[in-house]
Amino acid sequence: MTATATATLDDLATSAWQAFRSVRHATLAERAAWLEAIAEALDAARDDLVPIAMRESHLPQARLEGEVARTTGQLRLFAAVLRDGGYLEATIDHEAGPLAPDLRRLLVPVGPVAVFSASNFPFAFSVAGGDTASALAAGCPVIVKAHSGHLELSRATAAVVSRALAAAGAPEGLFALVEGREVGVALVQHPRIAAVGFTGSVPGGRALFDLAQARPRPIPFYGELGSLNPVIVTPSAVAARGVELAQGLVGSFTLGVGQFCTKPGVILAPAGFADIVVTAAADAAQGGPQLNQRIADAYGTGLAALLDAGANLAWRGEAADGESAPAVLTVTADQVIAAPEALLEECFGPVTVIVEVSSDEQIEAVLDLIAGSLTGTVHAETAEEQSRYADLLGLIAGRILFSGWPTGVAVNWAQHHGGPYPASTNSLHTSVGATAIRRFVRPLAFQSAPVAVLPPVLQDAPGAELAGVPRRVDGALS
């Protein structure tokens, strides 16, 4: 398949719009069944898809098999979200006088959605990943822009998804795949596209975000762009469990050759902790191939830029030809405060920067210079310290951890994977977890509407299928 022609994109967008006119009236059970059909088909195709992913991404088999399970788990989670029905926020206020007419409100799908695949998760954030799953769950057709780093896998996955939807009785046009940079730009600008989901770099995401806002009719752009994921390690934590913390940090920042969006990139810790980390890294850290040569070259360039800005190379691991070596860098708080643009630049790869801090004033000053992040982590021994530093991290992070490390992102109802810019372009929303569906819906209210016009869930007697859907009626949740 070559890069999609604009004429073909027009055809796909028109088909998506026609599918939308149908799908928005599909029942919750029907949409749930479509998602489960995709999940079952992907599970069945795992042994065919994983070898393709291994060739294109250089990721190991076990990691990719786990990612397939994560992907099908996401699809099944959104099927459960649909069957629960609470995401609709169905609300009824019966007439209570001339100034209080009968009003009924719910959330409805926004329209066809463009999804941009990510490079670092060829299944879970790609063709059938979380953005696609949540948009389809909302009732929105999806046109996926394939990532150039795994085109063969994208085509194979798209074929599995298309066959599964057709076999499950979903309307034609509900899902499509396009390729090519120019087509991606045209996709964001196409008048039939109502929203965009994106995971990728700050420059690429910001360019597309600006295009989405510059349209004659601007549309929501939900981008996850970049994150340093700061960690605070207190002197008391180092004294109590310094070796354990160092080992955990090494395992986290080198996981997947440092190519996780939640990699702990900046560590605020007392002097001496870096020495413990270096020892742990020398014992356990290994290099490996990154997703592609472009990313590997960018890692080398980013590492060199940090060193040129004054960071000290505390340790550098070994790597075979074609692989990227892990590294531990150190800087002082004063260095960061003097040159934040250079020393707080995200470097996508197996490196972490340890900032030596000696006071709460320095911690607060450094955190004040860190842009929005997906996560913030506190390793402290007292409730008072945990509370104080969580309060600071809460200003810039979307998720705060008090044990462990941020490179594990659970897919469940409570998860929030977002944060202030550039972690995401809209910090109200998440790209992981049940509430990711809210990106692709909007409120619609009916005033003094005849019963025949009302969606079934807003009728006083909604029917057996909707009997368990939560509704707020005259202020009371039922």
Pure H helices in 102-180: 130-138, 151-167
230 and 390 Cβ atoms separated by less than 8 Å: no
**Residue found by looking up tokens 């057996």 in the block:** 464
CA distance 39 to 244: 38
Pure H helices in 339-422: 340-343, 360-367, 383-393
Would residue 224 show up in a list of annotated catalytic residues for this protein? Answer: yes
Catalytic: which of 67, 140, 261, 347? Answer: 261
CA distance 202 to 393: 21
Catalytic: which of 36, 56, 179, 224? Answer: 224
* DSSP string over 47-64: HHHHHHHHHHH---HHHH
For 16-53, b where at least 16 C-beta lie within 10 A, e where not — what string? bbbbbeebbebebeebbbbbbbbbbbbeebbeebbebb
Residues β-bridged to residue 144: 115, 177
For 282-305, b where at least 16 C-beta lie within 10 A, e where not — what string? eeebebbbbbbeebbebbeebbee
Burial of 178 per CB tally in 10 Å (0-12, 13-18, 19+): buried
Write the single-letter amino acid at 320: A
Would residue 318 show up in a list of annotated catalytic residues for this protein? Answer: no
Residues β-bridged to residue 176: 143
Q: Is 220 helix (H, G, I), strand (E, B) or coil?
A: coil
Catalytic positions: 224, 261
